Amino acid sequence: MCELLGMSANVPTDICFSFKGLKERGGNTGPHKDGWGIAFYQGKGVTTFKDAQPSHCSKVADLVSDYPIKSNSVVAHVRQANRGRVALENTHPFTRELWGRYWTYAHNGQLRDYRNLPYSRFVPVGTTDSEQAFCYILSELALKYPDGPRSRPAMFKFIKKLCDGLRQQGVFNLLLSDGDYLFCYCSTRLHYITRRAPFGQARLSDVDVDIDFAKETTPNDVVTVIATLPLTNNETWQAMGIGEARLFKAGQCISQF
Amino acid sequence: MCELLGMSANVPTDICFSFKGLKERGGNTGPHKDGWGIAFYQGKGVTTFKDAQPSHCSKVADLVSDYPIKSNSVVAHVRQANRGRVALENTHPFTRELWGRYWTYAHNGQLRDYRNLPYSRFVPVGTTDSEQAFCYILSELALKYPDGPRSRPAMFKFIKKLCDGLRQQGVFNLLLSDGDYLFCYCSTRLHYITRRAPFGQARLSDVDVDIDFAKETTPNDVVTVIATLPLTNNETWQAMGIGEARLFKAGQCISQF
């Protein structure tokens, strides 16, 4: 399996603290040693750091955990390979352009019969069930909304229905972002925490690091972090329900399906 | 304007030495301070480091110039903005998937009337002439070869014709890769050097760094580096002709159009 990490924030925010925890799960405190990746949105642009090596000993992951890259929306993943060999083309997150927007996707779980999932406009490059499911979702979106959706909330409801179908074929925990929105779907395990004023201290579970968010933020900041399992051990994370989707924008949950 | 850097190699090779030179041109020895990016292919997979900051003082660029990321095909760019504001979404290289392959593109030059360039399947995310020309080229490819080309060399001849047309609208120096091939089109300025045994020493023009390639290579290695202007001052680089295209694979020039 794998672990997911996402962030939605109302001001450009770095994810160094949370990523420090996640990166240890990539081969040190967790078995997810088969590659890792992280995508940072800045406006409509996105930059993705990926590596087929374990994150806990990757020089690139060291940079990402130490150097504050400010972003409003982040999607990250550490991989334990099940479908598809260990290789860069099989490393999450995956990104495609649709309607002049970059869509970035990371998946935790595995799917039976994924080879029967139809895709048309978007074609997998690698050999994972995850990427095939991504190409299926985007191809269905392109078919349903050839000129783009008039209503984004309605579009995310449609994506939620596709996820409900995919969940019937196995485990399908998902993070999906277009830079503005972060869509999260829970098939088995996904947790989130929304931090806002008054900010307090937080301590990572996987490595001896703590932070005082009051020193790093302004009173108006709202930042939600989503992870497969809670990353800190002195805060209360919310567990999402099975089959539940949440849509975040600018740090806030704006819809729950 | 901007500067381009590309590499094609028959064995996974790092580009630290060449990138050290290019990154100085991003705001130090050159005026190209409006962002930079570099894409590394490993097999069919690609990872891209991008930053809207000047490369010469970017922490991410420091990592790329010091940490050897091995690749068979590289496309890099330092930007001096003309069309489109300084922003991540306007930073080269740009990547899109077509026929289950990632295509990566960087452009040096500027185009008049680029807003009239038609595109269909691929839509620009940012506001540059460069990205619109990329979406035009890929949209034309998708229309001409809906199921992918039977002959890749014929397809690259078709791309060359599109470039000939684009060159009529301004300056259009281009690097384009699908991971296997590196296609280079010269509208005004593009140079290349193919290094093979016996390997010698090289000295960068932009910063006081030299290398002995004999110590870094095996006798079978073949590595071609392409750049807007030569990066070293003690080797002979080949200038490409105006309107000339070259196709590299595994370090060798396999076609010249």
Percentage of chain A exceeding pLDDT 70? 100
Contact B44 A125 (CB under 8 A): yes
Q: Is the pLDDT of residue A153 over 90?
A: no
Question: Shortest Cα distance from A79 to chain B (angstroms)?
Answer: 15
What does the mean pLDDT of chain A come to?
95
Q: Which ipTM value was assigned to this complex?
A: 0.94
Tell me the pLDDT tens digit for each residue of A198-233.
999 999 999 999 999 999 899 999 999 999 999 999
Question: What gap in Å lies between CA B109 and CA A20, rounded to an integer?
Answer: 41
pLDDT confidence of residue B80: 87
Residue entry with tokens 């901007």: B2
Residue A54 has, within 13 A of its CA and on its CB side, a CA count of 12
Q: How far apart are CA A202 and CA A211, in angstroms?
A: 5
pLDDT, mean over chain B: 95
Convert the pLDDT of each residue in A182-204 to its tens digit.
Answer: 999 999 999 999 999 999 999 99
Candidates A50, A62, A122: best to mutate against B (most CBs of B within 10 A) is A50
- Using CB atoms, pick whichever of A43, A91, A100 lies closest to residue B88: A43
> B108: which 2 tokens?
């040096």
Sign of the CA dihedral running A220, A225, A231, A237: positive
CB contact under 8 A, A45 and B96: no
A100 to chain B nearest CA, in Å? 5
The closest alpha carbon to B133, from B152, B148, B116, B157, belongs to: B116
B-chain residues near A39 (CB < 8 A) = none
Q: A177: closest CA among A129, A122, A247?
A: A247
- A178 vs B: CB within 8 A: no
By C-alpha distance, the chain B residue nearest A131 is: B100
- Which residues of chain B register pLDDT less than 50? none
Contact B101 A125 (CB under 8 A): yes
CATH number at residue B249: 3.60.20.10
CA–CA distances in Å: residue A174 to residues A107, A108, A183, A186, A192: 5, 6, 8, 7, 13
Q: What is the 3-state secondary structure (H, E, C) of chain B?
A: CEEEEEEEEEEEECCHHHHHHHHHHECCCCECCCCEEEEEEECCEEEEEEECCCHHHCHHHHHHHHCCCCEEEEEEEEECCCCCCCCHHHCCCEEEEECCEEEEEEEECCECCHHHCCCCCCCCCCCCHHHHHHHHHHHHHHHHCCCCCCCHHHHHHHHHHHHHHHHCCECCEEEEECCCEEEEEECCCCEEEEECCCCCEEEECCCCCEEEHHHHCCCCCCEEEEECCCCECCCCCEECCCCEEEEEECCEEEEEC
Token output for A164:
């409900």
pLDDT of A1 above 80: no
The alpha carbon of residue B183 is apart from the nearest alpha carbon of chain A, in Å, by 20
Tell me the nearest-neighbour CA distance from B218 into chain A, angstroms. 24
Question: Which residues of A are identified as catalytic?
Answer: 2
The burial class, CB within 10 Å (0-12 / 13-18 / 19+), for A68 is middle
**Which residues in chain A are contacts of B123 at CB distance < 8 A?**
97, 99-100
Q: Which of A14-18, A27-31, A124-128 has the highest mean pLDDT?
A: A124-128
Range of the domain at B136: 2-256
**Please, which pLDDT band fits residue A82 given cuts at 50, 70 and 90?**
confident
Question: Which residue blocks in A129-196 are alpha helix, DSSP H?
Answer: 129-144, 152-167
Asked if the C-beta of B46 comes within 8 angstroms of chain A's C-beta atoms, the answer is yes
Long-range contacts of B244-247 (CB under 8 A, 24+ apart): B244/B185, B244/B186, B245/B156, B245/B159, B245/B160, B245/B163, B245/B183, B245/B184, B245/B185, B245/B186, B246/B183, B246/B184, B246/B192, B247/B153, B247/B156, B247/B181, B247/B182, B247/B183, B247/B184
Q: Does A51 touch chain B (CB under 8 A)?
A: yes
Dihedral Cα B133, B136, B140, B141, nearest 10 deg: 60
DSSP 8-state class, residue A113: T
Q: Kindly state whether B126 is in contact with chain A, defined as any CB-CB distance less than 8 angstroms.
A: yes
The proportion of chain A whose per-residue pLDDT surpasses 90, expressed as a percent, equals 88
Domain total for chain A? Answer: 1
Helix (H, G, I), strand (E, B) or coil at A119: coil
The pLDDT value given to residue B183: 98
Q: What are phi and psi of A173, to 5 degrees?
A: -95, 135
User: Residue A190 has what pLDDT?
Assistant: 98
Side by side, which strands form the sheet with A244-249? A94-98, A101-108, A173-177, A181-186, A244-249, A252-256
Say if strands B181-186 and B244-249 run parallel, antiparallel, or are unpaired.
antiparallel
Using an 8 Å CB-CB cutoff, list chain A residues near B59. Answer: 63, 67
Q: Which positions ≥6 away from A39 have C-beta within 8 Å?
A: A46, A47, A48, A74, A75, A76, A93, A95, A104, A177
A50 close to B (CB below 8 A): yes
Hey, which residues of B are catalytic here?
A: 2
